[in-house]
Amino acid sequence: MAATSAATFSIGAAISFGPKASQLPQSKPSAMRFSSQNSLTSFSGLKASTFVNCESESSFLGKESAIALRGSFTSKAQKSSHRSQYHLNLQASYKVAILGAAGGIGVNVVVIPAGVPRKPGMTRDDLFNINANIVKTLVEAVADNCPDAFIHIISNPVNSTVPIAAEVLKQKGVYNPKKLFGVSTLDVVRANTFVAQKKNLKLIDVDVPVVGGHAGITILPLLSKTKPSVSFSDEEVQELTAKIQNAGTEVVEAKAGAGSATLSMAYAAARFVESSLRALDGDADVYECSYVQSDLTELPFFASRVKLGRNGVEAIISSDLQGLTGYEQKALEALKPELKASIDKGIAFAQKQPVAA
């Protein structure tokens, strides 16, 4: 069984480093980000942010590195006290739990990456047979312990595990469709990266909405909706679409059994968590693509751009499905039967194994 780890995230209020900063206790190191009134900024998804800080009871840094980092900022604060202030946020506002194969904590955001990664030759049905019950068990724990939390499902096959989670929450009487998310951010990250490389653009400027699902042909990058606006030949559209859809399989085969797209998925998950925390904190301009309960199509679940707010999904952006190219419209219709089959499979699994009240 994998262990459960929890980290706390905070946004906002700060304590100043001044001339007395050297008097701060040299306790155990913390993983943290610094913000100042100068130009220390970070990028949250597609938006620059200056006040998002992350803390943990255990450090991402070694003890010596943390002490050196603290000393560096203390020195800078002392030298620059007459010009500016450096701020270190020490107050936790939200709790995030990343769940392995067991455990449940009361928190604001739950992230579920538990399960086995895909290996060469392994189909998504193979993944389903192993991961479905893991997701079911964990979501039961979430329903019992923190039913009001945002739930981020990463465990594959997401097209089926999100419907499983929804059914479990329904059986527990706590289902809120606005707070259940399939994390399809990796598809967006890949689409943005490949387009930026193809068109010699800065990655931070590129935004490609990706709709449908989170596997194979159900992944549909809407290249015609790319921002900034760029033109693609028919050959480029087919090449990029296939590359985005098959990127996961390429990584699995390249790793030859050693795992799947671990680091890029971790980055994508972190981006989605950070966006969720910004939304919880009241940021009114948070948009991400996610696989959620949706009425954009006749399917009960569908990935698209959504606006996030304190209560979860505030709006599903329907405009992305308007004015599609002929190629995109055909691909959209082609993905629906496969996505429907995956959804039905997840629902049937959950309904055959009712949860304890």
Higher pLDDT pick, 11 / 348: 348
Q: What is the total residue count of the chain? A: 357
User: For residue 184, what pLDDT is reported?
Assistant: 96
Is the pLDDT at 297 greater than 60? The verdict is yes
User: For residue 270, what pLDDT is reported?
Assistant: 95
For range 254-269, the mean pLDDT: 80
Go through the domains of the chain in sequence order and give each one's CATH number. 97-181+346-351 (3.40.50.720), 184-342 (3.90.110.10)
Percent of the chain with pLDDT over 90: 57
**Model confidence at 72, in pLDDT bands (50, 70, 90)?**
very low
For range 209-235, the mean pLDDT: 96
Nearest to 111 by CA among 179, 27, 33: 179
User: For residue 31, what pLDDT is reported?
Assistant: 39
What H or E segment, with its residue span, contains residue 178?
A: none
User: For residue 337, what pLDDT is reported?
Assistant: 98
Higher pLDDT pick, 33 / 324: 324
Nearest to 211 by CA among 236, 234, 241: 241
Question: In the chain, what is the straight-line distance between the N-terminal and C-terminal CA atoms, in Å?
Answer: 24
Is the pLDDT at 181 greater than 90? The verdict is yes
User: For residue 73, what pLDDT is reported?
Assistant: 41
Is the pLDDT at 89 greater than 70? The verdict is no
Nearest to 316 by CA among 328, 300, 304: 304
Is the pLDDT at 246 greater than 70? The verdict is yes
User: For residue 243, what pLDDT is reported?
Assistant: 94
- Asked which of 77-81, 201-205, 269-273, 332-336 is least confident by mean pLDDT, the reply is 77-81
For 262-295, how does the pLDDT look when each residue is reduced to its tens digit (9 = 90+)?
Answer: 788 899 999 999 999 999 999 999 999 999 999 9
For 61-70, how does the pLDDT look when each residue is reduced to its tens digit (9 = 90+)?
Answer: 344 444 444 4
pTM of the model: 0.73
Instruction: Verify whether residue 87 is a known catalytic residue.
Output: no
**Model confidence at 11, in pLDDT bands (50, 70, 90)?**
very low
For 97-144, how does the pLDDT look when each residue is reduced to its tens digit (9 = 90+)?
Answer: 676 544 445 889 999 998 877 777 777 788 888 899 999 999 999 999
Mean pLDDT, all residues of the chain:
78
Residue spans of alpha helices (H) in 8-156: 63-79, 124-145
- What is the rounded distance in angstroms from the CA atom of residue 168 to the CA atom of residue 280? 24
Catalytic residue among 82, 87, 152, 214: 214
User: For residue 99, what pLDDT is reported?
Assistant: 67
**Helix/strand/coil for 39:** coil
